[in-house]
Homo-oligomer: A and B are copies of this chain.
Amino acid sequence: MPLVTIKVLEGRTTEQKRGMVKDVTEAIVKNIGCPDSAVQIELVDLKPENIAHGGKLFSDGR
């Protein structure tokens, strides 16, 4: 704990993921004061046909 879930559109590179988990962990440690080893992050890759805004699938355009 803290337990973090970050859902992003699929297609992020490993480099982007590596940087994101490092920086998000630091951001939480800075504000909560927990050890960084306590921060767990799960990334979820979302497919465009599985997301909708305003009743419209992302894969159908915006």
Binding site for B on A (CB under 8 A): 1-9, 12, 14, 16-28, 30-32, 36-46, 49-57, 59-60
Contact = CB atoms under 8 A, between A and B. Distances in A.
Nearest to A37: B54
A49 to B, nearest CB: 6
Count copies of this chain in the complex. 6
A24 B42 CA distance: 14
Nearest to A16: B31
Given A7-B3, A42-B50, A55 B19 contact: no
Nearest to A40: B53
A1 B49 CA distance: 14
Contacts of A22: 55-56
